[in-house]
Amino acid sequence: MTCWPNLGSTVRCLVITCWLCFATTLSAEDIDRILIEKLAETMAKDYEATDRYDTEVWLKASDARLKGYLDSPDERLTLLHTVYREAQRQNLDPDLVLAVMQVESAFDRYAVSRVGAQGLMQVMPFWRLEIGRPQDNLTHMHTNIQYGTTILAHYLEASEGDLVDALARYNGSRGRLQYPELVVSAWRKVWRHKPREDLPALQASCENYGLRACRFQ
């Protein structure tokens, strides 16, 4: 069952119930020491987005799309500012981050998966312990996005820009296309701000994997 909320309504769809059981289930032996170092570095210092004009243009367009998920204008603005800042820090497309959130939690920061992943980007709690920050609250918007974007960016680097492989790693379903299909479909159908040719990782994945979601230009 593929579950897509209607942006024109206030109906929330808890996408964690329609994951088709592809939840993140990393074990201790799967833990990447380089990723732990990156998480520790991200959580140790703040970052400020640099291009204010581009930020404001993106915020205005994205806010209209986010209304179907979050009623509060203040909450939407805070989330979008955080997404843009952390995406820029990690050299990610902010629309991709929003697509991951849509699929992972439907923008419910209190969402918890059946295996214990938490928050907007469904981060596994063991990461906090691995970097010595057990106090971090993964239902906190800023904290969750910092963790999630760092993890996603690391998997993109580890996959040498292979978006499908990176997304599958993030979800713990490497070798399967269902989760990448969901995220890429949301990215291109709902959150799109850039053409496909301006997104090399997406372009390559569309060519290499023939994703159905690539029909959304």
Domain edges within the chain? 31-215
CATH class of 31-215: mainly alpha
| pTM, full prediction | 0.82
Please give the Cα distance from 41 to 21 (Å, whole number): 32
Of 178, 188, 181, 177, nearest to 216 by C-alpha is 188
Structure tokens at 161: 């820009």
Provide the pLDDT for residue 156: 95
Q: Strand pairing partners for 112?
A: 118
Alpha carbon distances (Å) from 87 to 98, 108, 165: 10, 19, 19
Residues of the chain with pLDDT under 50: 1-29
Provide the pLDDT for residue 46: 74
Of 189, 184, 192, nearest to 163 by C-alpha is 184
Of 11, 1, 15, nearest to 186 by C-alpha is 15
By three-state DSSP, how is residue 197 classified?
helix
Structure tokens at 151: 């993890």
Please give the Cα distance from 146 to 85 (Å, whole number): 10
DSSP state of 138: T
Please give the Cα distance from 26 to 39 (Å, whole number): 16
Of 207, 213, 185, 9, nearest to 99 by C-alpha is 185
Provide the pLDDT for residue 34: 85
* Sequence-separated (6 or more) residues with CB below 8 Å from residue 119: 105, 109, 110, 111, 138, 139, 140, 141, 143, 144, 148
Structure tokens at 85: 């800042």
Provide the pLDDT for residue 170: 96
Of 200, 204, 205, nearest to 179 by C-alpha is 205
Provide the pLDDT for residue 162: 95
Alpha carbon distances (Å) from 28 to 31, 32, 126, 129: 6, 9, 9, 12
Provide the pLDDT for residue 42: 82
Provide the pLDDT for residue 141: 96
